[in-house]
Structure 1
Amino acid sequence: MSSATHYRRCAALAATLTLAALAGCGQSKQAQPSATAQPVSVVTLRHTAVPVNIDLPGRTSAYLVAQVRARVDGVVLQRRFEEGADVRAGQPLYQIDPAPYKVALQSAQAALQKAESNLTAMNLQAERYKVLVNGKAISKQTYDNAVAAQGQAEADVASARAAVANARINLGYTSVTSPIAGRSSGSLVTQGAYVQGSAATLLTTVQQIDPIYVDLNESSAAGLQLRRDIAAGKIRPGDASAVKIALTLEDGSSYALPGKLQYNGITVDQATGSVTVRAVFPNPKGVLLPGMFVHARVQQGVNDNAFLVPVAAISHNAQGQATVMTIDGAGKTAVNIIQTGATEGGNWVVTGGLKDGDRVVVSGWQKVQPGAQVAATEMPAGAPAAK
């Protein structure tokens, strides 16, 4: 074998080994698995009817308030109730000295008896004169005078009866009763105090607090926007009689019983730019007292085209805008800027920025960059989002 031939064979063998090595490297690279996709949990959005609520501040006020005042003059002999206690309608609260009013009633009754006796006499005289005038025993003028006297006697009886009724009413006013059922305040007079009916001396106050009113303040601008949304068809007005109002107390706790809408005011307070919305709440245990500051959530309508997005799915960008991460059909992520309303349970009400069928990442989005490939798992309805 010549040296040239040997050289060519060695070169060919080296080339063959080199190609084999390169092929092996290529196969090794292809055999390496791709990076694992980040697992995330998603929810698929569907349009749903969501109540449109507004949170309003307000204060409680008594359902009924009665100022108990003196209606006759006299000295207070007795206070018949315990201050701060619940009282019944018609329950005696004070006793004013009735003695002078008893005497006045007796005098009026005596005057009535006198007037009735005089009327009896005038009736008999008129009957006799009627017979005599028919027999021409007396003049027609004399008979006419007897009939007039009879009419005057009847008027005197009516006046005396009215005087008796008035005296009896004044005597009744000496026992001061509660006009309503409710809770009494402190007494403003004591035993031995002189009160005047002409001055309507204030004795105490009774307030009914079950049920109780809650007067809320809604800005006129918010009311104007609501009317515009209803006119544009964005919000469907609900049945005002069926609206349930939730109350939050001064300490942040929730009041257990729902309230009902009483009325919506139509006059704007020029000082505050707000209108009054009145609600009524049951208050059987007396938890709510007049003058308490509260917050109420009032349903103003229904949005039939909103989305409920779990709170855990929403974040905010550097500009403070609310955002969510969505997944397209290829399993890649994107960031959407959304418009949110109020909260509903554990969800935000989203009114813009999403469409029906969008898949929103609820958990795992913190570890994913926009445009990344993810492995999505649909969350069961009502399942809590992972932290």
Structure 2
Amino acid sequence: MLVKKTTITKPASRATALLATAGLLLSALLYSSCGHSNAEGNYQPPITTLPVFQVTASDAHTTEEYTASLEGTQNVEVRAQVDGYLSKIYVDEGAYVTKGQPLFKIDDRSYSEQYNNAGASLQAAKANVEKAHIEVERMAPLVAHNVISDVQLKTAQAVYDAAKAQLAQAQAAQGNAAINLGYTTVLAPASGFIGKIPYKTGSLVGRSEPQPLTMLSDVKSVYAYFSMSESAFLNFVSGQPGKTVQEKVKAMPPVELILADGSLYPEKGRVETVEGQFDKGTGSISFRAIFPNNEGILRSGNTGRVRITSQHTGTILLPEEATFELQDKIFVFAVGDSNKVSSKPIVVKGHSGNFYLVDQGVKPGDKIVFTGLDRLHDGAVIQPQPISLDSLLKTKPL
């Protein structure tokens, strides 16, 4: 006989019913905060509110810094012009000297004797000339009266000419001896600071020595040598006024020098020259700027950075925070119709503080997402919160 069992469930209490209702409401709230489904049952993500600014064209300046090496306008190797022992050193390392000031003394005794010997030879040559001249004058009337033959007079004249030639040689020899004697006192070829002196009193010095007596640097003004890459040079050529490179160099604004400790040198300089060709090894081209050095702060061998400031009119500025990089390219999220965002690549031509100077990719009037880019993807819908680009320019340094 089949027996049917029936299970009877007791009605729930009032408290249990209230808890169940509260749980349903909480689930509904959580579901609505995360998204919702449309009429077709597809899930719709929530709309995020993000700050958006409108692109405008404005004026700005950019600064580029290049590593530089400093040299005096004159860096002269002071070398011995004659061989001998160094008998005196008149200056010390680091001293400032003026042009023509004695620096070193080489033992001059042998050169003094050479000069005296050349002087004696000169006197003998003069006497021979005088003697030969007297002989010619004595024979001239005798030949005229046919007392002696013309050949004797011509012979005397030849002796006289030879004596004059020997006199010229003696004069040259004495002049050369005087020059060598003068070289025993080494004079400063220019005004400037004395470098290292590797020799001491008693050292043998001469023209064949590989090391100079010292290096003399004229640092009333200093040269700063720096190099630009090929791309930076092309940007310089396209951004500066003028037809030729020389005209563009002259049109450059004053440049600044940042010293090795990071401080700014108080005097501004100017770019004077640019080399005629690129270095094949480094792919760069060298520039030379000059800076005044009235206080003597700068010395040859110093290093620093040359800072070049360029002015840009009517350029597009974008905050770096509004960009992201992907595969070596820089992108922004632009807001389009229905507040959908799409990524757009931009071409950057320079920096100005925390801003990019944009050459291509966006135009005035475009709307760009400022922050929250990590939460976005192409096609995402946002709720724009308009902000002013001018306010960003005021709060962030250019």
TM norm. shorter chain > 0.5? yes
- Cα distance change, pair 197–326 in 1 and its aligned pair in 2 (3 A): closer
Any conservation in 1 of the 2:269–2:289 contact (CA below 8 Å)? no
Aligned twin of 1:343? 351
- Cα distance change, pair 109–64 in 1 and its aligned pair in 2 (3 A): same
Q: Which moved more, 1:162-171 or 1:370-379?
A: 370-379
- Cα distance change, pair 349–258 in 1 and its aligned pair in 2 (3 A): farther
In the alignment, does 2:299 pair up with 1:279?
no
Any conservation in 1 of the 2:269–2:290 contact (CA below 8 Å)? no
State the distance in 2 between where 1:370 and 1:179 align: 76
Aligned twin of 1:316? 324
Code of the residue aligned with 1:79 in structure 2: it is: I
Aligned twin of 2:249? 240
- Cα distance change, pair 314–289 in 1 and its aligned pair in 2 (3 A): farther
Aligned twin of 2:196? 186
Aligned twin of 2:40? none
Tell me, what secondary structure is at the counterpart of 2:111? helix
**1:336 Cα deviation after fit:** 6.9
Tell me, what secondary structure is at the counterpart of 2:349? strand
Q: Deviations over 1:49-81 (max 9, x none)?
A: 867x65433433343222222222323221101
**1:355 Cα deviation after fit:** 1.9
In the alignment, does 2:149 pair up with 1:139?
yes
Alignment of 1:30-179 (within 5 A): 45-46=56-57, 54-179=64-189
**1:373 Cα deviation after fit:** 5.1
**1:166 Cα deviation after fit:** 0.9
State the distance in 1 between where 2:251 and 2:244 align: 14
Q: Gapped runs of 5+ residues in structure 2?
A: 1-48, 375-379
State the distance in 2 between where 1:314 and 1:363 align: 6
State the distance in 2 between where 1:201 and 1:356 align: 64
**1:245 Cα deviation after fit:** 3.3
Aligned twin of 2:280? 269
Aligned twin of 2:35? none
Indicate the RMSD between aligned Cα atoms, in angstroms. Answer: 4.3
State the distance in 1 between where 2:194 and 2:321 align: 53
In the alignment, does 2:307 pair up with 1:258?
no
Please point out which of 368, 372, 381 is paired with 2:383: 372
Q: Gapped runs of 5+ residues in structure 1?
A: 1-37
Code of the residue aligned with 2:348 in structure 1: it is: T
**1:226 Cα deviation after fit:** 4.6
In the alignment, does 2:242 pair up with 1:202?
no
Any conservation in 2 of the 1:43–1:379 contact (CA below 8 Å)? no
Any conservation in 2 of the 1:210–1:282 contact (CA below 8 Å)? yes
State the distance in 2 between where 1:201 and 1:153 align: 44
Tell me, what secondary structure is at the counterpart of 1:372? strand
Code of the residue aligned with 2:144 in structure 1: it is: N
Code of the residue aligned with 1:372 in structure 2: it is: Q
Code of the residue aligned with 1:266 in structure 2: it is: Q
- Cα distance change, pair 163–377 in 1 and its aligned pair in 2 (3 A): closer
Q: Percent identity?
A: 26
**1:179 Cα deviation after fit:** 1.5
Code of the residue aligned with 1:340 in structure 2: it is: V
Any conservation in 2 of the 1:105–1:164 contact (CA below 8 Å)? yes
Code of the residue aligned with 1:282 in structure 2: it is: P
In the alignment, does 2:316 pair up with 1:307?
yes
Q: Which moved more, 1:118-127 or 1:236-245?
A: 236-245
**1:295 Cα deviation after fit:** 3.0
Code of the residue aligned with 1:142 in structure 2: it is: Q
Aligned twin of 1:31? none
Aligned twin of 1:249? 259
- Cα distance change, pair 361–213 in 1 and its aligned pair in 2 (3 A): same
- Cα distance change, pair 83–321 in 1 and its aligned pair in 2 (3 A): same
In the alignment, does 2:364 pair up with 1:353?
no
- Cα distance change, pair 265–286 in 1 and its aligned pair in 2 (3 A): farther
Any conservation in 2 of the 1:71–1:198 contact (CA below 8 Å)? no
Code of the residue aligned with 1:242 in structure 2: it is: A
Any conservation in 2 of the 1:333–1:374 contact (CA below 8 Å)? no
- Cα distance change, pair 222–347 in 1 and its aligned pair in 2 (3 A): closer
Code of the residue aligned with 2:258 in structure 1: it is: T
**1:85 Cα deviation after fit:** 1.3
Any conservation in 2 of the 1:236–1:302 contact (CA below 8 Å)? no
Q: Deviations over 1:205-243 (max 9, x none)?
A: 2123342233323334655x659x859x9x997721232
Tell me, what secondary structure is at the counterpart of 1:202? coil
